[in-house]
Structure 1
């Protein structure tokens, strides 16, 4: 059983290393988008090619009979910002990228800027990816996160913008946040290997065996049993 869990964790680790190149590309794209957010809507709308691209994508969507609007991740940053400038939906961009922040549940002051919040969240994420403690401290200093393990765990759980290597280091140091992060998983009626893969997608396994890996497997086992009491 232990050997099997180790192999699943190690395979997940290799997949994460392979996807790191994609992460670097997303980081570059976020920097471009952050720069575009500083432009006025009139500046963005001067790109005529955006409208042609949008029409092409809409026709492709209808041809494939897809449901709902096009995922903005499919579009070039310039086109995404054009759409958002018409919708005035920078708040949607924040919440689709960072699914949970303490500030979402606070009473916001008059004239609050979601555009500014997006820039701060992006800055906090990039800082986290260089130094996790400083990144979390930055978000707290901007009142975006409350200094509580459960709030930090939810922030981590509902975003894909944090580097998995830095996240692993942070969770190893903050076991209270790790405990809260484990409880956010729901493994009810899941096949054990699938549940384990899902677990290690959010809480990344260390490269070598040791106390931390044993802790993760123990926490996973307890959570899996709690979600499936009939087993």
Structure 2
């Protein structure tokens, strides 16, 4: 297993992981200055535009605005999901276990739906279409080397490796989803994060039960936490 590449995290990712601001709480840039008394010798100044910079990105569709946490969470969710889907797609050809096949089919369908929603929200936010995590090996992301190892594994060995990667993804998705719930602003984005946390937690428990029933322990991945 390759050691994750150490690289400076993008600014928006830092905002996602360390932000403790409550949703909607005004930051320094959003605090209105004291109102000055009107001058009797000069005409009143023009009212500042309502779209003055506030550190938030305007929404063009769904009601509400996007903040840095929303954007960071959507970008990371897209990147993580794109790395997970190849793992789920190879399950039918690598195992005949019906429980694994059912799990992969259900997770694949759910993650493709979430991926579509995340991409649409990113487009709505006006964020760049490029993937800021391209080439990064981060918690919850399956590397090319790990995919190659899965392709050469079968039976119990495949179940163990696939279980590690799927569980690492789900655990990290729950963690960053909770951060979006705490600090996100855009209603549709936080709603998606809530759904990811709820289903991810349930699927982690399901995966752990499968491992116990089949005697496949060691599903924790060394890259499952920051």
TM-score range, shorter chain: under 0.3
Asked which structure has the greater RCO (Cα within 8 Å, sep 6+), the reply is 2
What is the TM-score with the length of structure 1 in the denominator? 0.25
Bigger radius of gyration: 2
More helix by share: 1
